[in-house]
Amino acid sequence: MHSFQSVTRHLSIIRQLFLILWQANALLFVLLLVLSLVTGAIPALTLIVNAKLIDEIVSFAFQQRSASSTSFPFPILILLFILAGSGALNQVMASTRTTIETLYRKQVTNLISLKIAEKASSLDLSFFENPVLSNRLTLALNEASYRPITIVTLLLTLLTTSITLISVTVIIARWHFWILLLVISISFLHYWIIARMGQDRVSLTLRQTPAMRKTQYISSLLTTDFYAKEIRLFNLRDYFLKRYRRLQNEVYQQDRQLLRKHLFLTMIVEPLLSLVRPALLAFVIWQAVQRLVTLGSFTLYTQAIGQLDGGFSALILTSAQLYENTLFLTNLFDFLALSPTVEPVQDVTTSNPSTLSAPSIEFRDVSFAYPDSATPVLNHLNFFIKPGEIIALVGENGAGKTTVVKLLAGLYKPTQGQILLDGKDIETLNRAELRSYLSVIFQDYAVYHLEVLENIGVGSVSEIENQYQIEQAAYKSGFAPIVEALPEKYQTLLGRWIERGHEFSGGQRQLLALSRVMMRKAPVLVLDEPGAALDILREQQFFKNLLEEQKEKRQTIIFISHHFSTVRRADHIVLLEQGTVIEQGSHEQLMAQQGQYANLFQLQSQEYASMEEIRRDEDAVFEEEKEHTNRMKSTKHFTEIDV
């Protein structure tokens, strides 16, 4: 039963592979098949023509002894012509096949790499946090670069070899059928050994994948700029190199053990195989000595035996390698068959975020635990957000604030309860439709190694070439003065590893990310620690601009912050502790309750001389921002921008 399932699975993989090969370029695929068929038939044709030619030459030599004619016989000329033509045709077709195969390989590799990228980018966030599934992605990426190319080559070699073998088999079978049975029997033994070795290699690769992922990770620590500062400051080079060597040695020892096992098997089989051809050649020589075959037939059979023996060896080796490679492809197709777990089935046409109105948002008895974890991160959350309301989520680190944002954005499904948009469960919405309502920035926002223009424009891809909108978004976030000071302004490339690339500071990168949020113009803005990397003046300036925008467009704003001077501006504050809402209300209401929020606020406010000092700071920021705005409006460039 297991064997039948294995064969069925193997055939399914072959079918899926042929679909990909056809999709890559159907015309080149058919051309390669035709060329392989013709190329495979030429060796057998050459054998037959050679045998006929030798017999004709011997016959002509005997005729010359008894006749005085010196004219060259016409049959020999024809056979020479056929021999020369088949040789030339073989060379032309081989060169043509090589050229087409090179182009076709690139297209197959590109198609599979694209499919992997499309699939990976469509999967849920939880996929990347699951080590088993991440291993599958790592294997797919590692194999995609060369495994399909290898399979294409093996398939074409298998086809060519099969055609050659069929032709030679007919020649041998018509002479002595038992020779064919002998060669086939020994070849099947050879195939079984090689296939078993291939299975061993596949199993070992699967076991080694976690260690290989760790090795790749440590390599990235030592070779990328992101970790370079800490590696040097904490003197971590030797520590990580030691772990790197240990993992490499672990993989090497496993490889060494397997190779020793395979060497033992090879030493048993190879000597047996090496005796087959000499024994068969001895039989042909004996038949020639006994004059049971002609000189031409002797040449035909000796060459046919050589091609039969070598052809079966090549066929067995190619088939085993193809089997091994398709076993590796099992992982690739399993990966490509994965489906997002949070995507509903129905397809809904998405709306332009700028045309949508802010919805009401309700968390109704929401609980959540991360995949493969029994410990809940959120417990029975209940709160309601009115359209156009400003909400602050506060609490200690690990209280579940960012998880709330991930659930609202549809990156995870609640374990229990519902999240409602205008009374509609978000699980009934298409994810693209849901996210058209939202413009989100997380703490670990991305800075792409692209131009500044693109880095902001990705917030609304449909407007990525609209420089006016991009500049307006940068102005609203307070990022515009920084960009304008750069020599290439919005065309500046980011990333030191790129030639002429620029690197922003931490605060500047955060302003870039905030510009991206402003670019989207969604009715709900969700900001996770938007001022974490900003100085107090920049943060206050951003929030003043944000509140002015919110009043004009009636956007809903949900933000996470540890700065209570910012938090107190919210209409509604939700205080989380260990994944549970322990207090909620306005700043005044929570202060009057004298609970946990009031304690945290008072603790932070002690850093200021008094609340009056806080207000004076805010007033000073407001005046500075007002003066800055007036200066900007006085220039021609900013007169067109509607602040």
Specify whether the CB–CB gap between 582 and 575 falls below 8 A.
yes
Q: What are phi and psi of 416, to 5 degrees?
A: -150, 150
The radius of gyration of the chain from alpha carbons, rounded to an integer in Å, stands at 37
**Helix, strand, or coil here: 350?**
coil
pLDDT tens digits along 44-54: 677 677 667 66
pTM above 0.95, yes or no: no
What is residue 366's predicted lDDT score, i.e. its pLDDT?
93
Residue 521 CA, distance from chain mean position: 31
Q: What are phi and psi of 283, to 5 degrees?
A: -65, -40
- Measured between alpha carbons, how far apart are the two ends of the chain, in Å? 72
Specify whether the CB–CB gap between 604 and 564 falls below 8 A.
yes
- The CATH code that applies to domain 359-604 is 3.40.50.300
User: In whole angstroms, what is the distance from residue 506 CA to residue 504 CA?
Assistant: 7
What is residue 363's predicted lDDT score, i.e. its pLDDT?
94
Q: Which residues of the chain have pLDDT under 50?
A: 1-2, 344-349, 609, 611, 633, 635-643
At the topology level, CATH places domain 2-336 in ABC transporter transmembrane region fold (1.20.1560)
Phi-psi region of 376 (alpha: psi -120 to 50; beta: other; left: phi over 0): beta
Residues 113, 117, 122, CA angle at the centre, nearest 5°? Answer: 150
User: In whole angstroms, what is the distance from residue 319 CA to residue 327 CA?
Assistant: 12
What is residue 541's predicted lDDT score, i.e. its pLDDT?
79
Query: Residues of 384-395 as b/e, b for ≥16 C-beta within 10 angstroms?
Result: ebeebbbbbbbb
HEC secondary structure over 545-600: HHHHHHHHHCCEEEEECCCHHHHCCCCEEEEEECCEEEEEECHHHHHHHCCHHHHH
User: In whole angstroms, what is the distance from residue 529 CA to residue 392 CA?
Assistant: 10
What is residue 173's predicted lDDT score, i.e. its pLDDT?
67
